[in-house]
Amino acid sequence: SARGEARRRLSRELKEYSRRGPLLAYAGSAGILEDVVRRGALRAKADYLEGVRSVRDRTADEHAAAERKKASLERKAKAGLSELERTRRSGVIAQEAYEETSRRAGEAEARLRALEESRKALANLVRDLEKRESKTTQAAFKAEPAVRPKTLPWPVQGRVVSSFGKKRIEELGTWTIHNGVEIAAEAGTQVRPVLSGEVIYSGPFRSYGNVVIVNHGGGFYSIYGHLAGPLQPKGARARPEVALGVIAPGQGRVYLELRQAGRALDPVKWLK
């Protein structure tokens, strides 16, 4: 560079001057004056070049500091953007979670309404069917022995997965009433009546799927839901050794409800 060349030239001049030093004593006053002038010029040039170097070094330091500051600001900006992105994503996740919770709550409310409507409708159906029963049909069951607790056979071999009575719906913070129980068993398992009687209803009914209702006489009824065909038809004589139907595919459970004199009973208290 130009500054580098100037420094090299100054260095050569200083060396040349140092070699000439011993000869100046023989040059007289003119030589001494010339030496003073030359010395001053060389010193001024050296000071100038030193100043240039100092400015250059300061400029380089300031440039390096500016670069470091720039890099620091860029890192902070990236960190800020990352935090902003994380915050945005957290907001999106929270919104999605809220929407999912709202959707599930809506679905649960819809299911609850459907179950409540089905429960009431089934109770009304049994009541209406009971009213329609002729005196002849009622008389035919008067000879049936009185039903006692813990004497009835299970419609299927399995465990109760949904119990009778009041049940808490946690996701909705409310309660519902189960008028029967659900017993777990494999799809296709035969479902048998708990007592002999007459089939007074056979067919689909709301959220219970296919339903069979058996009148056992004396105001005692049993109801079976989530069935698949072929079902015992209306008017058929129901016997514990003959299946009313089978558990429907995709259900894995049968619904059982017992009613006497229009009141729902806890089936577990009546089954063996």
pLDDT in tens, 238-272: 999 999 999 999 889 999 999 998 899 999 999 99
Give exposure, 170-202, as e/b (b: 16+ Cβ within 10 Å): eeeeeeeebbbbbbbbeeebebbbbbbbbbbbb
User: Is the sign of the CA dihedral 66, 72, 76, 77 positive or negative?
Assistant: positive
- CA distance linking residue 98 with residue 95, whole number of Å: 5
- CA distance linking residue 126 with residue 216, whole number of Å: 13
- DSSP SS3 for 190: strand
Q: Please tell me the pTM assigned to this model.
A: 0.61
For tokens 């209306």, name the residue. 234
Are 228 and 155 contacting, i.e. CB atoms less than 8 angstroms apart? Answer: no
Res 21: pLDDT: 54
Res 220: pLDDT: 93
Residue range 147-175: mean pLDDT, rounded: 88
- CA distance linking residue 267 with residue 255, whole number of Å: 10
Q: Does the pLDDT value for residue 19 go beyond 90? A: no
- CA distance linking residue 201 with residue 39, whole number of Å: 129
85 compared with 215, residue with greater pLDDT: 215
**Model confidence pLDDT, tens digit, residues 63-119:** 888 888 888 888 887 887 777 778 788 788 878 777 777 777 677 677 777 777 888
Count the Cβ atoms, other than its own, within 10 Å of residue 60: 10
- Is the backbone of residue 206 left (phi > 0), alpha (psi -120 to 50) or beta? left
Residue range 205-230: mean pLDDT, rounded: 93
> Homologous superfamily of 133-269 in CATH?
Glucose Permease (Domain IIA) (2.70.70.10)
CB-count exposure of residue 239 (10 Å: 0-12, 13-18, 19+): middle
- Looking at the chain, which runs of residues are DSSP E strands? 159-162, 165-169, 174-178, 181-184, 190-191, 197-204, 210-217, 220-228, 237-238, 245-247, 253-260, 263-265
Q: What share of the chain is helix, strand, coil (3-state, %, to 5)?
A: 50, 25, 25
Res 120: pLDDT: 84
